[in-house]
Structure 1
Amino acid sequence: MAREISRRRLFALATGAAVIFSAGPVFAARLQTPQGKPVLRIGGKISTHNQGDEAVFDLSMLEALGTSNFSTSTPWTDGVSDWEGVRLDVLMKAVGASGDTLRATALNDYVADVPLADIGEEGPILAMKRNGELMPISDKGPLFIVYPFDGNPNLQQQNVYMRCAWHIARLDVL
């Protein structure tokens, strides 16, 4: 009888643990509220929100998603720079994006469309830092969509350059 109770308890514990761990992504999908100055708003076809129907991020929230970096030259900067920021695929996963296009809007209302098929491990980042320093608005900041141009000659073409934008303030998933 004692052995039967132990098996039942073990089964109950295992079942309960499975339910708790399977609920993990639900809790991970929640975004905290920005504690610092918001630098990015994401709207459109997203399933994770923290302010109304948008996902709003400050710099520390973006950094908490994990950053990637690469060195590349761009048509808009001198020489090769080290760019650091959150990968767009990671950011889109964090907000539960379900569209085909990412529309980036800059502080000056410039708009660039990035196909979501472009983003991935070898794709663009939303750069926050250039050469280890946060980018001020006066120098392409606070956020800049940058592709690893030097690492892939196929990216060095006008239709890809047009997907890059600096002074990013908003992203919309279409």
Structure 2
Amino acid sequence: MKRIFAASLLLISNFASAFDLTVRVPDQAPVVLSMHQLKSELPVVSFSTSTPWADNEHTSTFTGFTMVDLLSYLNIKDVASVSFIALNDYSASTSIDDLKRYKPIVAYAVNGEPMRVRDKGPFWFIYNMSKYPQTDTPEYHTQMVWQLKEISIKYK
């Protein structure tokens, strides 16, 4: 019975941590933010856009927070770039200039529903390609990391 209880606690712990987002800053301890913190303490941003991973005539509404808001919330300044790391360890980097210019978001919901891991969740870094068509290119597509687990900050 003790083994079953211990195994279920481990399973619950792993499931819960899938909804946390780790932010790594050089020379500091990692900051782990829960889904609840992200939803309640950061401004909520939504936009509708089409993506190359769905029917191009179909748009989806993504809801989350901007990286600029997250950096401000964590009081992180002098950023050069931000790397996004997925559950499968795929990673891509984005310049601070693009974060400010195009205001991409880290989405945690699509069409009003939380994103499951099987549906590119729990977090997806995504650009509004409908508003900024210049981001609808292979260069920017590779930056749109889904199943996001970690964000790593690089200073200037």
TM-score by length of 2: 0.79
Q: Tell me: higher relative CO, structure 1 or 2? Use CA pairs within 8 A at least 6 residues apart.
A: 2
Q: Distance in 1 between matches of 2:48 and 2:129?
A: 9
> Which letter does structure 2 place at the counterpart of 1:91?
L
Partner of 2:4: none
| Matches for 1:74-153 after TM superposition, within 5 Å | 74-78=51-55, 79-97=58-76, 98-120=78-100, 122-153=102-133
Q: Distance in 2 between matches of 1:121 and 1:86?
A: 15
Is 1:42 the counterpart of 2:23 in the alignment?
yes
- Structure 1's 159 and 121: CA in aligned 2 closer, same or farther, altered over 3 A? closer
Partner of 1:59: 35
Q: Distance in 1 between matches of 2:101 and 2:113?
A: 23
Q: Distance in 2 between matches of 1:45 and 1:80?
A: 37
- Structure 1's 169 and 94: CA in aligned 2 closer, same or farther, altered over 3 A? same
Higher CA-based Rg: 1
How many residue pairs align between the two structures?
A: 134
- Specify the SS of the correspondent of 1:120: helix
Root-mean-square deviation (CA), in Å?
1.8
Deviation at residue 121 of structure 1 after TM alignment: 7.1
- Structure 1's 67 and 107: CA in aligned 2 closer, same or farther, altered over 3 A? same
Runs of 4+ in 1 over 2 A off after TM superposition: 96-99
Percent identity of equivalent pairs = 27
Partner of 1:69: 46
For structure 1, the 5+ residue unaligned runs are 1-35, 47-51
TM-score by length of 1: 0.72
Shifted more, 145-154 versus 92-101: the winner is 92-101
Partner of 1:9: none
For structure 2, the 5+ residue unaligned runs are 1-15
Partner of 1:11: none
Shifted more, 82-91 versus 94-103: the winner is 94-103
